[in-house]
């Protein structure tokens, strides 16, 4: 009996897919490296399946482009990379769970630590393996999530001093509002981090990698680059809009010439003709104002197409914008193609991407959905196959 994979290789499957340009990813990495400047190591963040782009494929491309460090959330994201032959250093950015320490040592991963038990369990694992293992210490400078508070830092440093099989390789923190140019909290976090570094060095440690800058800080705050940066969404072609005094600011140095890596496409499944005053979709949230030609697309919120785009978003059909009409459902979306010449069943439709001067990008989706480009990209579901070029 044929396997599912063999059957799908012979027949046409549901025509909704994402095209991932590894060439654009490599170019974006080069752009980020140039912007970071000489002497700054770039830790390319590939967590959350490389923001929905495919962590293994993207990691291979980044490694081939010279990435020495990759950033993931946790051990379960690191294991597939090692199994795929990725040799770059891998930073576990949100620590680890009890019981994972031996695998972390075996796979030569760099865990982020901030609790005494992190240090104690890793010390036992490294001692058992007969090696010295590198760790990165995270300080909570004001984000209020993970990391050791300044008041508790001496106790953690004492634990590190008592762990001869561990090496403090890195010192890190995370900025809460790096895209807000006049946020006083960022300045306070910088001061707190400087104090943490002073305390660490006074205690006799000499971490070689100091890092706090994410994508937004990398672009807007040179002083936060230190000697390592952790860009994520910029690698995939986006960054958050910058703000000052509650208003968006653009241009000047607040620009990084990166290109979107992912294009999301589908095909027209069916075409329907409706008279005026016809309610469409669940709840009848859209009513035709005049006779309309409507295309049915085989994509919906189960694919990660945000329902907040209902009656607000648009797609690209035959070099024209076509508005979404009615509520996006689990598997289907309706778009108005009235007046677009030559539209037919099977026509390619761009859900997210650009063509011939037209563009519908993740920033547009994010604005309409009161979201962020991070969420838009990460939410593209696993049932949307990725095709790499």
Give the active site residues: 47, 282
Q: Can you say whether residue 385 is alpha, beta or left, with left for phi > 0 and alpha for psi between -120 and 50 degrees?
A: beta
Dihedral angle of Cα 238, 240, 242, 247, to the nearest 10 degrees: 120
Tell me the chain's radius of gyration from C-alpha atoms. Answer: 24
Nearest alpha carbon to residue 112 among 155, 67, 166: 166
Beta bridge partners of 263: 19
Question: What's the CA gap between 167 and 164, in Å, rounded?
Answer: 8
Within a 13 Å sphere around the CA of 17, how many CA atoms are in the beta-carbon half?
A: 12
Residues 140 and 171: beta-carbon distance below 8 Å: no
Residues 224 and 163: beta-carbon distance below 8 Å: no
């Amino acid at each position: 009996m044929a396997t599912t994979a063999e059957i799908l290789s012979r027949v046409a499957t549901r025509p909704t897919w994402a095209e991932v340009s590894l060439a654009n990813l490599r170019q974006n990495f080069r752009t980020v490296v140039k912007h970071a400047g000489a002497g700054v190591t770039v830790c390319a963040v590939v967590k959350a399946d490389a923001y929905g782009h495919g962590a293994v494929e993207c990691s291979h491309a980044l490694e081939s482009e010279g990435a020495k460090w990759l950033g993931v959330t946790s051990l379960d994201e690191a294991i597939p990379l090692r199994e795929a032959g990725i040799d770059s250093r891998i930073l576990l950015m949100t620590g680890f769970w009890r019981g994972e320490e031996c695998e972390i040592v075996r796979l030569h991963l760099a865990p982020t630590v901030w609790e005494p038990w992190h240090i104690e369990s890793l010390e036992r694992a490294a001692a058992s393996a007969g090696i010295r293992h590198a760790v990165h210490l995270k300080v909570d400078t004001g984000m209020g999530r993970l990391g050791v508070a300044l008041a508790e830092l001496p106790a953690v440093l004492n634990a590190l001093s008592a762990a001869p099989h561990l090496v403090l390789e890195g010192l890190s923190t995370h900025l809460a509002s790096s895209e807000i140019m006049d946020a006083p909290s960022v300045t306070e976090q910088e001061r707190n981090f400087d104090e943490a570094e002073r305390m660490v060095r006074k205690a006799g440690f000499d971490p070689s990698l100091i890092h706090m800058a994410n994508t937004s800080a990398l672009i807007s705050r040179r002083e936060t680059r230190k000697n390592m940066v952790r860009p994520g969404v910029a690698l995939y072609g986006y960054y958050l809009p910058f703000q000052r005094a509650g208003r968006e600011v653009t241009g000047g140095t607040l620009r990084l010439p990166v290109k979107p890596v992912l294009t999301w496409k589908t095909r027209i499944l069916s075409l329907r003709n409706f008279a005026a005053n016809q309610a469409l979709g669940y709840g009848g949230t859209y009513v035709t104002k005049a006779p309309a030609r409507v295309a049915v697309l085989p994509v919906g919120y189960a694919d990660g197409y945000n329902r907040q785009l209902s009656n607000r978003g648009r797609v690209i059909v035959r070099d024209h914008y076509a508005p979404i009409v009615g509520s996006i459902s689990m598997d289907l979306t309706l778009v108005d193609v009235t007046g677009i010449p030559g539209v037919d069943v099977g026509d390619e439709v761009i859900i997210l991407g650009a063509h011939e001067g037209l563009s519908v990008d993740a920033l547009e989706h994010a604005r309409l959905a009161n979201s962020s480009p991070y969420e838009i990209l990460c939410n593209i579901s696993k049932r949307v196959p990725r095709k790499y070029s």
